[in-house]
């Protein structure tokens, strides 16, 4: 089981390197400053693999069609595996990096 967990983490790391690598595929990257309790909606439409990276503070991330909620602290990442809107809520003052793929087919 340890090996399976290690492989899963390696796969996530490889995906993250591709997502944030500038030549991986066309993408937009934006940095957001969010005040505590502020919300931001990303309308990903049919895109997948959008990435939310918490740079500072704490975030509550939820995605349309996904019953799970995701709590992120500084340094943690959410990778959208489905298409659909993503709601980011700042639990306290936060800085967020959003990498949105353009016309990516996953």
**Domain ranges in the chain?**
26-101
DSSP at 65 = T
Confidence of residue 7 (pLDDT cuts 50, 70, 90): very low
Q: Specify the pLDDT at position 58.
A: 98
Say how far apart CA 65 and CA 83 lie, in whole Å: 8
pLDDT in tens, 24-77: 554 688 899 999 999 999 886 666 678 899 999 999 999 988 888 999 999 999
Q: State yes or no: pLDDT of 2 exceeds 50.
A: no
- Report the predicted TM-score, pTM, of the whole model to 2 decimal places: 0.69
Domain 26-101: state its class. Answer: mainly beta
Closest Cα partner for 93 from 61, 54, 63?
54
């Amino acid at each position: 089981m340890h090996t399976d967990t290690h492989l899963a983490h390696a796969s996530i790391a490889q995906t993250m390197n591709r997502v944030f690598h500038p030549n991986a595929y066309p993408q937009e990257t934006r940095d957001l400053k969010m005040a505590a309790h502020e919300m931001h909606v990303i309308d990903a439409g049919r895109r997948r693999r959008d990435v939310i990276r918490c740079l500072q503070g704490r975030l509550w991330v939820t995605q349309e069609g996904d019953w799970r909620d995701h709590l992120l602290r500084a340094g943690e990442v959410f990778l959208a595996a489905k298409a659909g809107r993503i709601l980011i809520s700042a639990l306290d003052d936060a800085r967020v990096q959003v990498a949105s793929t353009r016309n990516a087919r996953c």
